[in-house]
Structure 1
């Protein structure tokens, strides 16, 4: 239902800037367990470090009641526990912001949310660089893979991003990083 409301907002505002309405809607629904779960697991843009921290903190506030349910995700008929669902949908956040997979999911999410909430630009760059090899594993048909895979190149390009563009990728979400890699690859081919 939440996704239908979000689509309806776009249609109702007919070409106007929908972000203020979407932001207000999200802020309101992070106060409900199902709203918090939706926004944390959907990876709906923007996926900045700050926004992701708020989403994860909202889920963590409702952890106990959400833990009693089972969730269908991608494979119908295979119910997930809350831990399994969060690991399947937010593994990128845990890997980038709280490396080390032996810690329980809830603890990793708590640490990741805390680190994201207080992250500096340099903290975000380090998290992004930790996540870049994972993003590269999904990148297909890169013409300049050796260039865009170079951590020094990535660091230089990340440092040069203007604040709004950097904010969009600061959470280190794999899909956002893939978009960056493809953009950098196209730019690398230009004279």
Structure 2
């Protein structure tokens, strides 16, 4: 490999093509995965992998997919594979299947990137650490691509994609934007992997101002914005409820702010 080149990335063929074709292929793959899971509790490897040309654009979010008439890589369509899998399982016991399928996918570059950028629930500190660590394992081949996320415009580098999709994790767990993205991701993943409840509490409090900036029509804003109030409410959460917000994802914290707003309105 020439200096400066990255290893070639391979993606499942069912993620490439015209929009209707990818819908059909990913659904078929989901049914195949569900049928094998029912038989022996495992998942099949993709039937065909294709090398992606360096610099080729990969769509990582449906919001940016306005190229239905063009054959492109549609990574976000892994979600359609999962829907097909649920259908094959008659939509029963999907949560444990979710966990197992994600763990299976994180062993591949495409799966690692999908789960890191899609931010499917749960977004606990432990789960987010696993997602970030998976992306870091495949950092070099993933750098060879360009990406579209939630906005149209110039395609993004891997660094830019991770800031757009996982910036909240870096802000909460590795404050200081001057450090290179790769270093911040590594630090954030390490800290999340070994986080105590108190570590998560401090990370959540660091992220609360960001969540508040997105909150609208809060009648009790002064109360829910008070760090002492936030700390008290967070400390009172049962372990399972706290685990759900322990990653300090902005979307989860925004939901918690509205929960508190609702509770205050009842009194």
Please name the residue that 1:186 is paired with: 262
Query: How many residue pairs get matched?
Result: 191
- Paired residues of 1:9 and 1:21 also in contact (CA < 8 A): no
Whether the aligned pair in 2 keeps the contact of 1:52 and 1:171 (CA below 8 Å) is: yes
Shift of 1:13: 3.7
More helix by share: 1
Q: Does 1:106 align with 2:182?
A: yes
Q: Kindly indicate whether residue 99 of structure 2 is the aligned counterpart of residue 23 of structure 1.
A: yes
Structure 1 match to 2:32: none
Shift of the alpha carbon at 1:15? 4.7
Q: Is the 1:9–1:22 contact (alpha carbons within 8 Å) kept by the matching residues of 2?
A: no
Distance 1:3 1:174, change over 3 A: same
Distance between the aligned counterparts of 2:211 and 2:90, measured in 1?
34
1:114-165, CA deviations, whole angstroms, 9 ceiling, x for partnerless residues? Answer: 0000000000000000000000000001111111000000001111111111
CA distance in 1, matches of 2:257, 2:239: 18
How far 1:20 sits from its partner (Å)? 0.5
Q: Offset at 1:5?
A: 1.6
Task: Give the structure, 1 or 2, with the largest relative contact order (CA under 8 Å, sep 6 or more).
Answer: 1
Which structure has the larger Rg over C-alpha atoms? Answer: 2
Structure 1: how far apart are the matches of 2:206 and 2:257?
14
Give ranges in structure 2 of 5+ residues lacking alignment: 1-76
Which has the larger strand fraction?
Answer: 2
Q: Aligned partners of 1:174 and 1:90: how far apart in 2?
A: 10
Q: Give the alignment's Cα RMSD to 1 decimal.
A: 1.1
Matched, 1:51 2:150: no
Q: TM-score, normalised by structure 2?
A: 0.70
Specify which of 101, 106, 109 is matched with residue 33 of structure 1.
109
**What is the 5 A alignment of 1:156-171?**
156-171=232-247
- Aligned counterparts of 1:120 and 1:94: Cα–Cα separation in 2: 17
Paired with 1:6 and 1:184, the residues of 2 have a C-alpha distance of 33
